[in-house]
Amino acid sequence: MPRLSEYMLPTEKQAPADAEAISHKLMVRAGLIRQMGAGMWTWLPAGWRTHQKVVQIVREEMDAIGGQEMLMPVLQPAEPWRKTGRIEIEELFKLADRKGSELVLAMTHEEAVTFHAAQTIRSYRDLPQILYHFQVKERDEPRPRAGVLRTREFVMKDAYSFDRDQAGMEERYELHVGAYDRMMQRTGLRWYRVEGDVGMMGGLGAHEYMAPCPAGEDEVLLGEGYAANVEVAANSPGVQRTADGSYVRDGQPLTLEPAIEIGNIFKLGTRYSVPLGATYLDEQGEERPVWMASYGIGPARIVAAAVEQYADEHGISWPRALAPFQVHLVGLGKLGTPEREAADTVYRTLGEGGIETLYDDRELGPGEKFAEAELLGCPLRLTVGRRTLESGEIEVQVRRGRAQAPGIPLAGEPQALVGAVDELWQSLP
């Protein structure tokens, strides 16, 4: 576990001049991300730790429903995109190599995965299948904004299911609905699943996973037992827009709320399998098209949504599942003092006990250290200083609400310290 004296965490007192979204401001200020160009962002070490916490949650839930992880290239031949008609998408990056061959930078991987399915799926015995990967996506976004919320390059988990008919596709789709619901619950976000628009993906239907927050560019309509993207709702039976601009459904008022889209799932049907020749032979030897669905989720957007939903005037306040570190240990006192030696001992004890700890061992004043700890937002802050030696207790603060927790004895057994921290950690949201 890192010491801040050796760790790349370039915090800033001021937010970027062009930043409007809370997540944009705080993620830059907390040293989590840095911009390289319009819509191009670098994840610095602490930010990447948080990003990968999301990735691990998603991976575990995908594996639990039989997903098989793989990796497909970002750089792809243009021909499959031409066959599906998606070569004309304006946001698709198109280029040519030195030989003049047409290529694209993938914004999603339906064409690639269907290309492979067409080569490998031969019989009904090869179905069903669920394949997924975490891969960089490229999008010629005309208006990059809001930090990592709308970018030109981002990592997405995209999964694809393959079935022999619509009934199988629906079954696999429902498996993913359950997995996505569990992913969202585990992140600690406030979220809802809404009816979505198939858009450029095409197909038979879609759902979107939304995280409500003021910075969201999407709008959803919510009512008793009803949730839908505003564009979908506007074309739904029973939904009407009133003269004052509000919405009602079957006479019942609906609430309009801004939200960040953090995931989407699509029933593709044979939208891609037919043009790309992904077929199988059934029991009678008849050739039939494979039925597909696709499932996307954006780890970066989940991270940003967590910042948006839980930040306060002092900085970020991570939900437990996404925090870059469990504990931010603040050591007070100069090198060689008894209090610094005590902080070093606590740091070693926590690390050996498996507690993810960021140790602020820098030669800075208490005020600056505490301010940076609150900005970064790790769920627990432990402070070891002269007062700790006098009282015999490590000072504990819970970041959410900035609440003081009971102190932890300094002189106890190492297992007792680790156990006390872990017990408090498990009680956090």
* pLDDT greater than 80 at residue 420: yes
Q: How confident is the model at residue 25 (pLDDT cuts 50, 70, 90)?
A: very high
**Cis, peptide link before residue 128, omega less than 30° from 0:** yes
Do the beta carbons of residue 196 and residue 82 sit within 8 Å? no
CA-to-CA distance for 156 and 160, rounded, in angstroms?
13
Q: Report the pLDDT value the prediction gives residue 206, as an integer from 0 to 100.
A: 87
In the structure encoding, which two tokens stand for residue 322, read together?
């996404």
Region 360-382 average pLDDT: 97
Do the beta carbons of residue 160 and residue 131 sit within 8 Å? yes
Do the beta carbons of residue 310 and residue 316 sit within 8 Å? yes
The pLDDT tens digits of the residues spanning 240-251 come to 898 888 899 988
CA-to-CA distance for 3 and 15, rounded, in angstroms?
25
Rounded (to 5) percent helix, strand, coil in the chain: 35, 30, 35
* pLDDT greater than 80 at residue 197: no
Separation of CA 161 from chain center: 21
Q: Report the pLDDT value the prediction gives residue 201, as an integer from 0 to 100.
A: 59
Count of other CB atoms within 10 angstroms of residue 396: 19
Q: Report the pLDDT value the prediction gives residue 6, as an integer from 0 to 100.
A: 96
* pLDDT greater than 90 at residue 62: yes
Do the beta carbons of residue 34 and residue 42 sit within 8 Å? yes
* pLDDT greater than 70 at residue 203: no
Question: Any idea which of 50-54, 284-288, 300-304, 408-412 has the lowest mean pLDDT?
Answer: 408-412
Q: How confident is the model at residue 184 (pLDDT cuts 50, 70, 90)?
A: very high
Q: Which phi-psi region, left, alpha or beta, contains residue 267 (left: φ > 0; alpha: ψ -120 to 50)? A: beta
* pLDDT greater than 70 at residue 202: no
Q: Report the pLDDT value the prediction gives residue 199, as an integer from 0 to 100.
A: 67
| Spatial strand order in the sheet of 327-331 | 357-360, 327-331, 380-384, 393-398, 403-409
Q: Report the pLDDT value the prediction gives residue 216, as an integer from 0 to 100.
A: 87
* pLDDT greater than 90 at residue 391: yes
The pLDDT tens digits of the residues spanning 135-182 come to 999 999 999 999 999 999 999 999 999 999 999 999 999 999 999 999
Q: Report the pLDDT value the prediction gives residue 196, as an integer from 0 to 100.
A: 79
The residue extents of the domains of the chain are 4-310, 325-426
Q: How confident is the model at residue 116 (pLDDT cuts 50, 70, 90)?
A: very high
Region 268-294 average pLDDT: 97
Coil, strand or helix at 215: coil
Q: Report the pLDDT value the prediction gives residue 226, as an integer from 0 to 100.
A: 86
Q: Report the pLDDT value the prediction gives residue 286, as an integer from 0 to 100.
A: 97
**Which value, to the nearest 10 degrees, does the dihedral of the CA atoms of residues 328, 329, 335, 336 take?**
-160
Region 407-420 average pLDDT: 93
Q: Which CATH architecture has domain 325-426?
A: 3-Layer(aba) Sandwich (3.40)
pTM score, whole prediction? 0.93
Coil, strand or helix at 429: coil
In the structure encoding, which two tokens stand for residue 263, read together?
């995931």
CATH number (3.10.580.10, 3.30.465.10, 3.40.190.10, 3.30.930.10) of 4-310 reads: 3.30.930.10
In the structure encoding, which two tokens stand for residue 244, read together?
């004052």
Give the residue from 320, 306, 349, 322 showing the smallest Cα distance to 427: 320
CA-to-CA distance for 339 and 390, rounded, in angstroms?
10
Question: Any idea which of 12-16, 183-187, 218-222, 287-291 has the lowest mean pLDDT?
Answer: 218-222
Average pLDDT, the chain: 95
* pLDDT greater than 70 at residue 60: yes
